[in-house]
Amino acid sequence: MIKKKISIITPVFNEEENIIDCNKSVKEFFLQINNKYDYEHIFVDNSSTDSSLLKMRQLSITDKNVKVLVNNQNYGILPSIFNSLKYCKSDYTLVCYAADLQDPIDFLLEALKKSEQGYEIIYAKRNKRHEKILYKYLKKTYYYLAKKLTNNILKQNVSSFQLISDKVRKEILTVSSNNPFIPYIIQSTTFKKIGIETVWIERKKNIAKNNFFSLMDEAINAICNYSGIASKISFILSFALFTFSIIFLIYNVVFLIKEFFVKNIEIANGIPSIIIFNCIMFAAILVILGILSENVNHLLQAKIGKKVNINEKINFD
């Protein structure tokens, strides 16, 4: 009987203290389940400046399950992961198993059980997070807004730590984008999906590479480029202002009629017309901006960012 194969993707940028432990955790997991599945552990190096790449090379020599993609520059986590999906040759892919070990590898045990029940997407719900109180509530607010603005496509406390079938992998690779927001792309598919609760723990070694500003960029990408909120706001404002203009026009027409019949009503000539004209013009401009932003929104999803280029591939056939 041919074993099913699992691909595990680990993005890396200056994680020299965690590389060995990360690979060890994967090896021990598959030993724990008596090697029921074959696997490949794909490290994606984002142009690390420490000894991370050296350690990955050493691992790849002694363990052919370890494969390495070496980017020619730092493209960021999500573009790197998205590009690495092209190189997976397996039945299922763990999309992002971070080198910092903050997500539990044991999630994969329950996820594989769900896959055998016919689920194509099994996502981790990080409902418990061991992190600083400020980041905890900022992320809680972000996930809440993202969920509402994407019509519940993005789920609460769900990141790229998800197990997907090869059908899902092929489906999401049809998306043409250099700046993909992977959690949204996966969750927006119609494949059968289910969540498993996990605990996001503190990293034990090295320091986090994602700071407040990088997390903010990721949030802006998710909310603005994938929810279409900019165009929605423009259309709402334009409709509201146009409605106000019409009401104001009717209001002033009534006063002009009264002025014609009642001589003691005074209206400053020209002022109402200027106000109405400005309101209508602003409404028209916002309509145009709404249409343009909708088009730009689609273009951004396909074109923004740099295309990921690989300098070297190790242990790939």
Residue 267's pLDDT band (cuts 50, 70, 90)? low
CA pair distance 60, 81, nearest whole angstrom: 19
DSSP-based three-state secondary structure for 222? helix
Q: What's the CA gap between 20 and 59, in Å, rounded?
A: 8
Residue 104 to residue 199: CA distance in whole angstroms: 7
pTM: 0.75
Integer CA distances (angstroms), 208 to 99, 215, 271, in order: 11, 11, 59
The pLDDT value recorded for residue 253 is: 74
- Domain chopping of the chain, boundaries: 5-227, 229-303
Q: What is the mean pLDDT of residues 3-13?
A: 95
pLDDT grade, residue 224 (50/70/90)?
Answer: low
| pLDDT at site 281 | 72
Pick from 98, 101, 123: nearest CA to 46: 98
Assign 73 a pLDDT band (cuts: 50, 70, 90).
very high
Mean pLDDT of 281-292: 69
Which of 23 and 230 is assigned the larger pLDDT? 23
pLDDT reading at 301 higher than 70: no
- Comparing 201 with 108, the larger pLDDT belongs to 108
3 state SS of 313 = strand
**250: pLDDT confidence band, cut at 50, 70 and 90?**
confident
**Highest CATH level, class, for 5-227:** alpha beta
Q: Report the alpha-carbon distance of residue 105 to residue 122 in Å, rounded.
A: 14
What are the CA-CA distances from residue 163 to residues 67, 158, 221, 272 (Å)? 19, 12, 23, 62
**Alpha carbons 247 and 251: distance in angstroms, whole number:** 6
Least confident of 31-35, 106-110, 200-204, 262-266: 262-266
Given this model, what pLDDT does residue 95 score? 97
pLDDT given at position 145: 72
pLDDT band of 234, cuts 50, 70, 90: low
Q: Average pLDDT for residues 296-311, to the nearest whole number?
A: 69
Note the pLDDT of residue 219.
61
The H or E element containing residue 199 is: strand 193-200
Q: Looking at residue 290, what is its pLDDT?
A: 65
Q: Is the pLDDT assigned to residue 83 strictly greater than 90? A: yes
Average pLDDT for 198-214 = 69
Mean pLDDT of 206-221: 60
- pLDDT tens sequence across 122-131: 999 988 877 6
Residue 242: partners with Cβ closer than 8 Å, 6 or more residues away: 279, 280, 283, 287
